Amino acid sequence: MVAQVIVYGIIIGVIYGLVATGLSLLFGVMRYMNIAHGSFLIIGGYISYWLFTLWHMDPFVSIPVVMLAMFLLGLIVYRVLLSPLGKFPEGQRLGNSMLITFGLILVLDNVMCLLWTSDVRAVTTSYSKVVLELLGVRLPLISLAVIGITLIVIIALHLFLNRTYFGKSIRATAQNWEAASLLGINIDRTYLVACGVSMALAGAAGAAVALMYSITPYSGLQWLLRALVVLVLAGLGSIRGVFLAGVLLGVTEQVSVFFIGGEYRAVVGLGIFVLILLLKPQGLFRQ
């Protein structure tokens, strides 16, 4: 039973890490806090649901399509709403981005309700209930596939940030945007690409959530809260530590459910959030 609980915790933790990656990238590069990140995640889930329901596209095949659509949406969001904030100092930029994206939640959630109604939706395939068993531990096939997709996304993100011009620009801008600007890097274009990549990662996470759980127009908030806890655990802007922090949170929550009950699951996550802020506010994976 303990092994089963830990395995489920790792699976959930991988989802948490994937959900938080896009938010961490945006904050680490631009110092913008996207409060609407959970809503964008749900939009990605609905796009996957639409592709599966209307065109019978396998949800794993549709993930690149979802990511491309969300990347384009990210470019629009940056140009229309976030790019004007670049003229403000960093602290004011952070506060204004939170206000703008909070208002964006109200718009996006209601638009989703109009498009898809408030009914609970999920992507259910012919292999959704297939379960493998290894040494007495049950492993849902969907969960294993989501972990595989997550690893592919991690590797692709790593290669993008380390092997491409835009990726290196993003890393340089995250370290010191003023120095990067002096070296000839186009900061505005770098921010544009970073915002698009952040939304694409949210889309991939949304497709995974629609597969493993269910979505409604107003369910983005719970995923945003999980992403914020993971961000604090990893350290704000620490992309490398996000997945480790996600797995840590997932395992801790599942163990707490096993020993003290599911009704205290959210309390445990909040308790970890507060403890890290008090004891190590820079995060577990930042020096």
Residue 153 forms part of a structural domain: yes
Q: How many domains does the chain have?
A: 1
Query: In this structure, is residue 61 part of a structural domain?
Result: yes
In a domain, 145, yes or no: yes
pTM as predicted: 0.93
Contacts 24+ apart (CB under 8 A), 27-31: 27/231, 27/236, 27/237, 28/174, 28/236, 28/237, 28/238, 28/239, 29/170, 29/173, 29/174, 29/190, 29/191, 29/194, 30/82, 30/93, 30/191, 30/194, 30/195, 31/90, 31/93, 31/94
79, part of any domain = yes
Does any domain span residue 248?
A: no
Q: Judge whether 27 lies within some domain.
A: yes
pLDDT of the residue at 237: 66
Q: What mean pLDDT do residues 255-274 have?
A: 78
Q: What is the domain extent for residue 164? A: 21-220
Residue 181 lies in a domain: yes
For residue 249, tell me if it sits in a domain: no
pLDDT of residue 243: 86
Confidence at 273, pLDDT banded by 50, 70, 90: confident
Residue 121 — pLDDT band, cuts 50, 70, 90?
very high
